Structure 1
């Protein structure tokens, strides 16, 4: 699998999950709010905070009507126009992120926004609805930056076409995110197992762009299934005005999510099965062995009545239980006390 780095952070199955706090357009057009969102992401331990950079003119056709899920009387064009992030913010937000030890990212939705961002982002994030815009994908791939692409509202065949376009255009550093284009996404629809399907199909790091309301369940499940990237929307307050606040995580929820991700990574451990240091005491005291249940005189026969498979506690343990049938029927060549572990040098043959 082709793993890669965003800045100095490795992204792949053997590395810590790369957590993107999706600020999106939840700055509500206020630079100070954008900086507060960066503060929240950095304090929670996110690896990157990501905004969205677009221009309504490059995004929607004229007279595009409304969208029911937004519950807003304005046209979708007017809503999008009101959410635009000023280009002049980009270097300032990049610098602010740098000073807070978190990567600045922003999803470009059009070529001119990508051009404005190119100098300041360590990787491209491709939104689900852009993932089938092949000419745009070629432009992004030509910059030699890593690409993280969401796959919401696309079938596997369509994802395959987009991956082919990116690879043919020179993109060697690619991660794919399972995403469901519903805001919020019902937990029963999030389909986290798709991250495994994407990884098996394309042999790239995969992850989850999660729009469920639960801060923990889907991200933890994704990490347990091998997610290399987790993306989740954040807000200062769910009650703020704007289309993306209601399903975003508030600061304490972001803290909870990232803590749960790191605990899940710790709990996953390695794929090696071995006796651990924390098990040593009970490995010695509680694993069963062959012990005498009564005194056995030298020359006496070993029978099921005078030996058993028991836990030794602090006594010196006897033979492994797998030798029980071999021990029964032999004779003692020395006196054996009750409770003593029976070993081969106690027996004839």
Structure 2
């Protein structure tokens, strides 16, 4: 499985997860709010902050009707139109991110928006509903940038078609994200195990785009499964007006999520079973060994009454407990004081 970089961040199964704080359209058309969202992502320790760049006329048919999950009397076309991010924000937000040392990203939903973004983003993020738009995928692949693609509302066979199209178009740096297109997603439906399914099926880095309300459970589970990318929506305040605020994380929750991912990754360790430096003191003082429980004179027989398997504490450790039966019936070559660890040079083995 090939590893690659998004900006200066290595991405792959042996790297820590690339965490995307998804601001989306939660700027509410206000540039200052957009910058405040960037500040929140920086404070939380995210690797990138991502917006969304689209034009309603390139995304929905005008007579699109309403969407049930949004408590809004407007048509979906009108809602999307109200959420458009001005193209002139792009260089300013990019520079603001650069100064704050976080990567700027934005999901394009059409070729025109991608063209506006191309100079400013280190990678493309493909939204779930765009992941079967083969001509657009081919357009993005032709730029040579890494592609992170969500897979919500698609069957595995459909994902395979898109992956084939991307590869045939020259995309070699690809991440696939498990995603469930429900806002919010019930924790019982997030199906984080698909992170591993996508790894096994396509041999690419994978991850999770999470729409659950819980800031810890699904992202941490994804980290356990080797997620290379974790993405989650966030906002300044869930009570703000707009369709994506209610299911997004608030600043303290975003911080909690990033911390949980990093702690989970740290807890997984290397997988090599060995005695660690942090265990060394108790390795020496608490592992049981064979010790005398009373003074033993030279020539005296070692028995179950004068020796036991004990923790040595500050004393020099004796032989491994597995040799206990072998020591019973041997004789001491020298005086062995009470509490002493018994070693081979203390006994007559003949």
TM range (shorter): over 0.9
Rounded to whole Å, the distance in 2 between the matches of 1:137 and 1:176 is 13
1:173-322 to 2 correspondences below 5 Å: 173-322=173-322
Rounded to whole Å, the distance in 2 between the matches of 1:324 and 1:89 is 76
> SS of the counterpart of 2:332?
coil
CA RMSD in angstroms, aligned pairs only: 1.3
Report the Cα offset of residue 278 of structure 1.
Answer: 1.6
In structure 1, list runs of 5 or more residues that go unmatched: none
Aligned to 2:126: 126
In structure 2, list runs of 5 or more residues that go unmatched: none
> SS of the counterpart of 1:68?
coil
Report the Cα offset of residue 244 of structure 1.
Answer: 0.1
1:1-349 to 2 correspondences below 5 Å: 1-349=1-349
Rounded to whole Å, the distance in 1 between the matches of 2:240 and 2:114 is 28
How many positions carry a matched residue from both structures?
349
> SS of the counterpart of 2:197?
helix
Rounded to whole Å, the distance in 1 between the matches of 2:285 and 2:43 is 45
> SS of the counterpart of 2:51?
strand
> SS of the counterpart of 2:36?
helix
Report the Cα offset of residue 183 of structure 1.
Answer: 0.3
> SS of the counterpart of 1:69?
coil
Report the Cα offset of residue 44 of structure 1.
Answer: 1.7
Rounded to whole Å, the distance in 1 between the matches of 2:263 and 2:30 is 35
Report the Cα offset of residue 304 of structure 1.
Answer: 2.2
Report the Cα offset of residue 269 of structure 1.
Answer: 2.1
Report the Cα offset of residue 329 of structure 1.
Answer: 2.7
Report the Cα offset of residue 63 of structure 1.
Answer: 1.5
Residue by residue, what CA displacement relative to the aligned partner does 1:138-193 show, whole Å, maximum 9, x if unpaired?
11111110011111111211111111111111111111111110000111111111
Rounded to whole Å, the distance in 1 between the matches of 2:32 and 2:284 is 60
Moved more, 90-99 or 140-149: 90-99
Residue by residue, what CA displacement relative to the aligned partner does 1:199-220 show, whole Å, maximum 9, x if unpaired?
1222211111111111112112
Per the normalisation by structure 1, the TM-score is: 0.97
Rounded to whole Å, the distance in 2 between the matches of 1:174 and 1:53 is 21
Per the normalisation by structure 2, the TM-score is: 0.96
> SS of the counterpart of 1:290?
strand
